[in-house]
Structure 1
Amino acid sequence: MLAGRMPEPAAPVPSPLASLTAGRQIARNVLVVLAVVGVLYLVWLLRTPLGWLVLATFLAVAMSGPVNLLSRFMKRGLAIATAYLGLMLVPVLLALIVIPPFVNQGTELVEDFPGYARDIEQFVSENETLQDLDDKYDVVAKLQEEAEKLPARVGDAATLLSDLGLGLVNSGFALFNILILSIFLVSSGPAWAARVVQMQPEHRRDRLDRTLRRMADAVGNYIGGALLQATVAAVLTYVVLRILGIPFAAPLAIIVGAFDLIPLIGATIGAVVVALVTLFIDFPTATIVWVIWSVIYQQLENNVIQPQIQKRAVDIHPFVVIMAVLCGSTLFGVLGALLAIPVAASMQIALLEYLQFRRESRLLAALAPLPLPEEPEAPQPPRGTLANA
């Protein structure tokens, strides 16, 4: 039986060429992974200037509208200078409107705080329930003690404000670089975009140019819509505060308008700031009226004003808006929340244009004429047949 057993086939020996090909494939995959890791690490190291570049691009797109409008009446260089000079004057004017009244009122509040503490002490002494609580926990005495110390802490507040000012000065370097990058993008960006479009194949140029223009229009329209929404909030806030008799209504209205630029939570933050001010001016009447008004207006803004404005500005689904804002704010904070909607709109435009391009390409391929079958050649007579005939 052993003699008749068939020998087992030998295992195939891999050829040197197959081994070399497999080794090259493994090495290529390893190099690709290392390259991706290296690029991600480089992006992490350059996150600050790349963030400046993103902000500069966003600002350049936003400023392209005013620059193009001014370019109709003056040279483009002068139009750029005028538009950016006006942009830089806006925060200066807002600071001149907002800061002095709050500094004066803050100083008066600190000086009058001991009087507020005495009023609270008198109110507690006239209420039996509060008097019992004060006897147990000595709240009024502690409040009076802290109130007497408060005027002496104005110097500490001044030190804190000076440190804050120093931080703002340090941030000015970043703002200066963002403005310079934005100016370069506004002046040279259209030429660069046209050059990129010309580098594409002829059948893609029109679509790429249309996509870039639609993305720029979406960003500009979003900014215009957000500014219009913030202006409406500021004007209505000013009217309500004037009716309630709240002092420095204009600075508070500007603060509400500035916070209203932040999606989802900005209006609430602005309303809370105003409510805290009304606590020291006319509590509880003004506070209650303001809280009721702010709740009603936020519902009106979220369901009527904002949808109507953004529907005409950026054609994007509300679900995408909410998710974009949540993701942007989680990743990059307030700045991410501000940029989330225009970035989502640009991505949506790019995706829709790509899908339409794919559909048109498939349709053209389906409608392309099929090649005609070649006609068979007629049989040739044998050589010499005609001659023999």
Structure 2
Amino acid sequence: MRVVAVVVAAALSLYLIYLLRQPIGWLVLAAFIALATAGPIRALERRLHRGLAVALVYLGVILAPFLILAILVPPIVEQGTRLANDAPRYAADARRFVSENETLRGLDQRYALGQRLQAEASRLTSRLGEAAGTLVNVGAGIVSSVFTVVTILILAIFMVTGAPRWRRSLGSYQPADREEALNRLFDRVGAAVGGYVRGALLQALIAGVLSWLVLLLLGVPYALPLALVIGLLDLVPLVGATLGAVLVAIVTLFVDFPTATIVWVVWSIVYQQVENAVIQPRIMSRAVSVDPFVVLVSVLFGSALFGVVGALLSIPAAATVQVAVREYLAYRELPRPVDASPDPEPGALSTEAPPTAGQPA
């Protein structure tokens, strides 16, 4: 009967977690943001009041995306418009390349690939207006996303401001050695998550800047937005850098094929090897040390449960679990204090000899 009750309770718990998966996901994201911002807050707290430090850090978190958009959106829009205007010329170049290749020419004659490509490219400019109309429908989704982001940030602020009080309250109910172990666990988890965020941003910055320089040397247009996309995709573990490289390779097909395409593909392969063997280990070894197999499994599980966000949070989550397990094992190995003179049990016989006559008791 007890086994049945345990199984039913576990099933109900899993079902409840499934029903609450959205707010649980918000709480996980808020905890991640709180841990990631704990380091900058502590640094500012040395010179400022904690409340002011929290306000400045989260003001920076809120303004950073708007600042990035203000810097990058104008050139992206301008170069995107140029791309739409130049699309017919790129299509004509592709059609000419097809006509000069005997195998591709046969496919073109059978399926009229060149004509279809030219027609679609000619209609691309007019479709920008249709896409602008579609943006109105996207507005509702943006409003919902803004509400979600604001909610997550508010939760993160509550977590950051309440963390010291929660730690003191939790530690007050624990023995001294366990309280010390809990404080050490919280500090190391925060350091691991904060280090991962800094390392991932630095790695993405290196990938974006180097890719931008290579694209400029190759004369590839729209180098800035393409480098930005590469940097953002580099934040996604395992597959992000490959996706960015493939995207840029497709663009180079219409710029200077085959020279630019071959150079870019070779560069991407070499850089990814250097990043995986040199850059990433050097950066991440100072922040987290997670086995590659654990990284792969955590990314697969995280992406399956929460999509791209899950893939982004999978490595810090794995690092958190690893730190928690290590701290627990270290705590278990600590020597426990032993009372050298325990009180005798009630009714126990004394082993001391009774005093003899004339001997003081």
TM-score by length of 2: 0.86
One-letter code of the match for 1:47?
A: R
Q: Which of 303, 326, 331 pairs up with 2:305? A: 331
1:183-198 matches, within 5 Å, as 183-198=157-172
1:276-287 matches, within 5 Å, as 276-287=250-261
Structure 1's unaligned 5+ residue stretches are 1-25, 382-389
Q: Does 1:207 align with 2:185?
A: no
Q: Which of 47, 65, 77 pairs up with 1:91? A: 65
1:136-151 matches, within 5 Å, as 136-151=110-125
Residue of structure 2 in register with 1:105 after alignment: 79
| Higher alpha-carbon deviation: 291-300 or 369-378 | 369-378
Residue of structure 2 in register with 1:66 after alignment: 40
Structure 2's unaligned 5+ residue stretches are none
- In structure 1, what is the Cα distance between the partners aligned to 2:128 and 2:277? 44
Residue of structure 2 in register with 1:295 after alignment: 269
3-state SS of the aligned residue for 1:280? coil
Q: Report how far residue 379 of structure 1 moved.
A: 11
CA contact (8 A) 1:98 1:252 kept: no
- In structure 1, what is the Cα distance between the partners aligned to 2:222 and 2:115? 33
One-letter code of the match for 1:53?
A: L
3-state SS of the aligned residue for 1:281? coil
Identity rate, percent: 52
Q: Report how far residue 124 of structure 1 moved.
A: 5.1
Residue of structure 1 in register with 2:292 after alignment: 318
Residue of structure 2 in register with 1:77 after alignment: 51
CA contact (8 A) 2:204 2:235 kept: yes
One-letter code of the match for 1:82?
A: L
One-letter code of the match for 1:345?
A: A
3-state SS of the aligned residue for 2:253? helix
- In structure 2, what is the Cα distance between the partners aligned to 1:39 and 1:266? 34
- In structure 2, what is the Cα distance between the partners aligned to 1:34 and 1:233? 50
Residue of structure 2 in register with 1:168 after alignment: 142
One-letter code of the match for 2:36?
A: A
Q: How many residue pairs align between the two structures?
A: 353
One-letter code of the match for 2:330?
A: Q
Q: Which of 20, 23, 36 pairs up with 1:49? A: 23
Change in CA separation of 1:311 and 1:369 when aligned onto 2, cut-off 3 Å: farther
3-state SS of the aligned residue for 2:351? coil
One-letter code of the match for 2:74?
A: P
1:106-255 matches, within 5 Å, as 106-122=80-96, 131-255=105-229
3-state SS of the aligned residue for 1:312? coil
- In structure 2, what is the Cα distance between the partners aligned to 1:31 and 1:74? 53
3-state SS of the aligned residue for 1:313? coil
One-letter code of the match for 2:25?
A: G
Q: Report how far residue 209 of structure 1 moved.
A: 1.3
- In structure 1, what is the Cα distance between the partners aligned to 2:97 and 2:248? 25
- In structure 1, what is the Cα distance between the partners aligned to 2:14 and 2:31? 21
- RMSD of aligned Cα (Å): 2.9
CA contact (8 A) 2:27 2:152 kept: yes
Q: Does 1:350 align with 2:324?
A: yes
CA contact (8 A) 2:90 2:255 kept: no
Change in CA separation of 1:319 and 1:245 when aligned onto 2, cut-off 3 Å: same
- In structure 1, what is the Cα distance between the partners aligned to 2:109 and 2:324? 69
CA contact (8 A) 2:253 2:261 kept: yes
TM-score by length of 1: 0.80
Change in CA separation of 1:113 and 1:364 when aligned onto 2, cut-off 3 Å: same
Change in CA separation of 1:230 and 1:119 when aligned onto 2, cut-off 3 Å: closer
Residue of structure 1 in register with 2:351 after alignment: 375
- In structure 2, what is the Cα distance between the partners aligned to 1:309 and 1:266? 17
Q: Does 1:36 align with 2:38?
A: no
- In structure 2, what is the Cα distance between the partners aligned to 1:39 and 1:199? 27
Q: Report how far residue 154 of structure 1 moved.
A: 2.5
Q: Report how far residue 318 of structure 1 moved.
A: 2.9
1:328-352 per-position Cα deviation (integer Å, ceiling 9, x unaligned) = 2233222222222222222222222
Change in CA separation of 1:276 and 1:204 when aligned onto 2, cut-off 3 Å: same
One-letter code of the match for 1:375?
A: T
Q: Report how far residue 176 of structure 1 moved.
A: 0.4
Residue of structure 2 in register with 1:386 after alignment: none
- In structure 1, what is the Cα distance between the partners aligned to 2:294 and 2:186? 21
Q: Report how far residue 130 of structure 1 moved.
A: 5.1
Q: Report how far residue 175 of structure 1 moved.
A: 0.4
Q: Report how far residue 57 of structure 1 moved.
A: 0.7
| Higher alpha-carbon deviation: 343-352 or 154-163 | 154-163
* Bigger RCO of structures 1 and 2 (CA < 8 A, at least 6 apart): 2
CA contact (8 A) 2:93 2:254 kept: no
- In structure 2, what is the Cα distance between the partners aligned to 1:198 and 1:379? 48
- In structure 2, what is the Cα distance between the partners aligned to 1:222 and 1:128? 52
- In structure 1, what is the Cα distance between the partners aligned to 2:217 and 2:86? 25
